[in-house]
Amino acid sequence: MRIYLDLVTRSYLMSPPEHFVVEYAINPWMDTNAPVDTELAVKQWEGLRETLVRLGHTVHVLLPEIGLPDMVYAANGAFSVDGVVYGAKFKYPQRAAEAAAHRRFYETLGWRYHLASETNEGEGDFTYLPAAHGGLILAGHGFRTEVAAHAEAQEVLGRPVISLRLTDPRIYHLDVALQPLDDANIAYYPGAFSESAQKVLAQLFPDAVVATEEDALTFGLNLVSDGRNVVLNSEATGLAASLRSAGYVPVPVELSELKKGGGSVKCCVAELRG
C-alpha cells in the first residue's frame, strides 16, 4: 500500500482563457479551421481551478492579455525551484511577449528571476523531483527547448539536470510525455523519447507508471499531481486505471476546448516552488 508522505499543500499559477483562440499553428494539434468555443474554454478552465482549490491547494491568477491567446498555458512561462526562477524564452514569436508577463508576476513575489539566454519554454520542458536521487531536474529538448538551456538552468537553479531528447513531434513538450506523480516518482510514455533517454529513465525510475501511446495522445500525461491526487484529462481512462492500481487517486477533468491548442491540465498550471 502506498504511504502518502509527500502530500503537501501546493501553490499554482493559472491564467484564464478569456482571449483563447487558435489563429496560428505552432504544434501538430492546432487547427486554424477548427472553431474554438471561448466561453466553454473558460468554463472548463474554471472547473480545473476549482478542482485544485477543492483539493486544498492555492491558485494564483495571472491576468490574460489581449493578443496572447496561448497565455492560458501558464506552465510555459517560467520554471521555479526554491524561490529562484528560470524565465522562459519562447521559440515562436507569437508567444514571446508572455515571458514578460510572467516575469512581472514573479517579481511581485520577491523571487529571484533570471532572464534566459537560451530558448526554453519553462515547465513545458522542465520538471523537478526534490526527493529523487537528492533532487533532480528532468529536462526535455528536441522541439521547443534547446539543449543548451539545460546547462543554463543548472547554473541558475543549482540542481542537477538530466537531459532527455524527445523524438515524437506530436509530443512536443516534456510535459506531454512525463510528469511527476510525487516528489520521487513519475509517469511517462517511453515512446516519446530517444532510446538513450528511455534507458536513463528506466534506470532512474524503476517504479514509474509506464503509460501507453494512447495515454499520451489523450494528453493523459499532461497531469498535475500533489503526491496522492492526480488531476488529469477525462479522456485518459486507461492511464487513470493504471494510476489507481499504483495507489494514486485519479481526478478527471474535462478540457476539450483547451486541447485544441495542444495542451491540457499541466499546460494550464505552473507550480510555484517557493
Q: Which helix (H) or strand (E) holds 59?
A: strand 58-61
- Mean pLDDT, rounded, for 43-61: 98
Give yes or no for residue 34 having a pLDDT over 50: yes
> Where in the sequence numbering do the catalytic residues fall?
173, 267
The whole-number average pLDDT for the span 172-193 is 98
| 270 φ, ψ (degrees, to nearest 5) | -95, 135
Q: Could you tell me the pLDDT band of residue 137, with boundaries at 50, 70 and 90?
A: very high
What's residue 1's pLDDT? 42
Nearby residues of 20 by Cβ (< 8 Å), 6 or more positions away: 36, 38, 41, 42, 69, 70, 72, 257, 258, 261
**Does residue 4 register a pLDDT over 80?**
no
pLDDT of residue 2: 54
Provide the mean pLDDT of the chain. Answer: 96
Q: Which residues of 75-109 are buried (b: 16+ CB within 10 A; e: fewer)?
A: bbbbbbbeebbbbbbbbeebbeebbebbbebbeeb
What is the DSSP code string of 133-148?
TTSEEEEEESSSS-TH
Could you give the CA distance from residue 26 to residue 93 in angstroms, rounded to a whole number? 10
Half-sphere exposure of 56 (CA within 13 A, CB side): 9
How far is Cα 248 from Cα 244, in angstroms, rounded to an integer?
Answer: 5
| Distance of alpha carbon 249 from alpha carbon 104, whole angstroms | 35
- Of all residues in the chain, the percent with pLDDT exceeding 70 is 97
- pLDDT at 33 exceeding the cut of 90: yes
What average pLDDT does the segment 62-86 reach?
Answer: 98
For the record, the C-alpha cell of 252 comes out as 478527471
Look at strands 249-253 and 229-233 and give their pairing. parallel
- Using the predicted structure, report yes or no on whether residue 81 has a pLDDT greater than 80: yes
- Global model pTM greater than 0.85: yes
How many CB atoms lie under 10 A from the CB of residue 216?
24
Reduce the DSSP state of residue 58 to 3 states and report it: strand
φ, ψ at 66 (rounded to 5°): -60, 135
Q: Using one digit for the tens of pLDDT, what is the confidence trace for 222-272? A: 999 999 999 999 999 999 999 999 999 999 999 999 999 999 999 999 999
* pLDDT given at position 189: 98
CA 159, 139, 23, 220 dihedral sign is: negative
- What is the spatial distance between Cα 124 and Cα 26, in angstroms, rounded to a whole number? 14
Report the DSSP pairing between strands 112-114 and 84-87.
Answer: parallel
